[in-house]
Amino acid sequence: MDGDKTEVVAILGAGAWGLSTALHLIDAGYTNVTVFDQASEVPSPYSGAYDLNKIVRAEYEDEFYTELALEAINRWRTPFWGWNFHQVGYVVATSSAAPAKAVDHLEAALSSIKDHPVFAPGISSLNKSEDFKKIYWQFSGPMTGFKGYLNRLAGYAHSSNAMADLHRYLVSRGVKFILGAQEGKAVKLLYNTSNPSERRCTRFQVASGRVHQARRTIVCVGAYAATLIPEMGSFVIAKCWSVAHVQLTERECDYLRGIPVLNVRDLGFFFEPDPATRLLKLCPLGAGYINSDANTGLSLPPSGSQRAPKDYIPASDEKKLRRLLKETLPQLADRPFVDQRLCWFSDTSDSEYCVDFVPDTGGSLIVLSGDSGHGFKMMPIVGEWVLKLLRDGRQVRPRRQFRQTQKRDADWGNDVSWRIGTTKEIREVVEEQDRMVKARL
């Protein structure tokens, strides 16, 4: 089925996946595409990709995602996307203190690519700290007990710039953007229930009260999915990780230029410094934080008056990052962190994406969610999955299907092999910080 390309399409959310969707629709000939976002500009500070950089790696333990990521990397290496892609290579490691789960994950990731015809020539295993020192000759830290590998067919992308560039391009192609807390923020989907066998989403309301009509409404609001489609709260939850930066001088920045992304599974990861801001970005690794509402059971990013960490990251995360720096760049280990924040994404229990029609809506409502914190790298190809969905009329890939029900239990999501530790509530983080501040007084 090849649909009517003049039909009115509304994309809610101008993050990594919403922008990609707009691009592929317009390339396929759709002529009436409007993108809404609650932020007043793109990139949106509410986007999980509002950031200097994201890892673009291709190794997954599972072939399904490896092949998708390879396809995405091939796209990143084209003139259209290449401005923001930096193929500096990607080192995955464990430190001497790594728990068994981290070591197992590393071995599984390596075995998924070491014999893969595309990757094999670019893989080197790194068996001891001397091997790391050859690659990271700038690092004076001991890298005690580090083990891992380098994959040259990987690197990172400047995620904020990729979104800014694509936004500009889409505007030039005639995609309409409606932005801002009043006119751009969708607050309610409206359904026509006159046909008892379906509830067709025909309109939606934005914060100003204005109502828009669309034949297709495509919800790409990341961590906020359950605000518009509450039933999604049973299988996607808003989760966050910490982000912190070290401010470097121009000379320090030049010195570190070109280093591969370093991901130490039991500590965290960092990237070559951003030349424009001279910031070295760091992310601790762990199971993340959620924000459950006691009444609804839903986890959503904090809103309004709710207390949430601002200008600091959880103490345990800071400890991990300082250890990571001591092992690698000890001269930076005691520098203050700047621009510290929590970054929200949409998590599923098994880390599978959801790209599907919402059931029984007559094809009117599509949702893209469950990026599970590994969806940015797919930005060049996500919109193709939406086109395929429109062509097929239904989701044929079980791994991207909308899940009707799923029960949340205490271990939810902690099974995912690349997550270490257990998920905490934001509330606990705030209380912990209060106690620390009090103890210091």
Ligand X SMILES: *[C@@H]1O[C@H](CO)[C@@H](O)[C@H](O)[C@H]1NC(C)=O
Ligand Y SMILES: Cc1cc2nc3c(=O)[nH]c(=O)nc-3n(C[C@H](O)[C@H](O)[C@H](O)COP(=O)(O)OP(=O)(O)OC[C@H]3O[C@@H](n4cnc5c(N)ncnc54)[C@H](O)[C@@H]3O)c2cc1C
3 state SS of 237: strand
Q: Specify the pairing of strand 147-151 against strand 90-94.
A: antiparallel
Q: Which is nearer to ligand Y, 131 or 177 (CB)?
A: 177
Each residue 8-37 as x (binds ligand Y by CB under 6 A) or -, in order, gives: ----xxxxxxx-----------------xx
Restricting to residues 26-45, which ones interact with ligand X according to CB under 6 A? 31-32
Taking residue 407's Cβ as centre, other Cβ atoms within 10 Å add up to: 8
Q: Give the span between the Cα atoms of 165 and 175, in whole angstroms.
A: 14
Q: Which is nearer to ligand Y, 322 or 377 (CB)?
A: 377
- Choose the one of ligand Y, ligand X, none that binds residue 283, judging by a C-beta under 5 to 8 angstroms depending on kind: ligand Y
Q: Give the span between the Cα atoms of 382 and 72, in whole angstroms.
A: 9
- Check residue 192 for interaction with ligand X (CB under 6 A): yes
Q: Which is nearer to ligand X, 115 or 311 (CB)?
A: 115
> What is the signed CA dihedral for 139, 142, 146, 151, rounded to 10 degrees?
10
Q: How many Å from the N-terminal Cα to the C-terminal Cα in the chain? A: 67
3 state SS of 51: coil
- Check residue 202 for interaction with ligand X (CB under 6 A): yes
Each residue 141-180 as x (binds ligand Y by CB under 6 A) or -, in order, gives: ----------------------------------------
What residue is closest to ligand Y based on CB? 15
- Choose the one of ligand X, ligand Y, none that binds residue 129, judging by a C-beta under 5 to 8 angstroms depending on kind: none
Restricting to residues 214-273, which ones interact with ligand Y according to CB under 6 A? 220-224, 227, 241, 243
Distances 55 to 21, 112, 158, 159, 314 between C-alpha atoms, Å? 21, 18, 9, 9, 22
Q: Which is nearer to ligand X, 125 or 208 (CB)?
A: 125
Q: Which residues contact 266 (CB under 8 A, 6 or more apart)?
A: 94, 95, 97, 98, 99, 102, 285, 420
Asked if the peptide bond before residue 43 counts as cis, ω within 30 degrees of 0, the response is: yes
Q: Give the span between the Cα atoms of 172 and 151, in whole angstroms.
A: 37
- Choose the one of ligand Y, ligand X, none that binds residue 31, judging by a C-beta under 5 to 8 angstroms depending on kind: ligand X
Q: Which residues contact 265 (CB under 8 A, 6 or more apart)?
A: 92, 93, 94, 98, 102, 105, 106, 285, 418, 420
- Choose the one of ligand Y, ligand X, none that binds residue 195, judging by a C-beta under 5 to 8 angstroms depending on kind: ligand X
Sheet containing strand 200-206, strands side by side: 186-192, 200-206, 211-213
Rg over CA atoms, the chain: 22
- Choose the one of ligand Y, ligand X, none that binds residue 32, judging by a C-beta under 5 to 8 angstroms depending on kind: ligand X
Each residue 131-170 as x (binds ligand X by CB under 6 A) or -, in order, gives: x---------------------------------------
Each residue 111-130 as x (binds ligand X by CB under 6 A) or -, in order, gives: -------------xxxx---
- Check residue 376 for interaction with ligand Y (CB under 6 A): yes
List residues near ligand X by CB under 6 A.
8, 31-32, 124-127, 131, 192, 194-195, 202
List residues near ligand Y by CB under 6 A.
12-18, 36-39, 44, 46-49, 54-55, 184-186, 220-224, 227, 241, 243, 283, 343, 345, 368, 371, 373-377
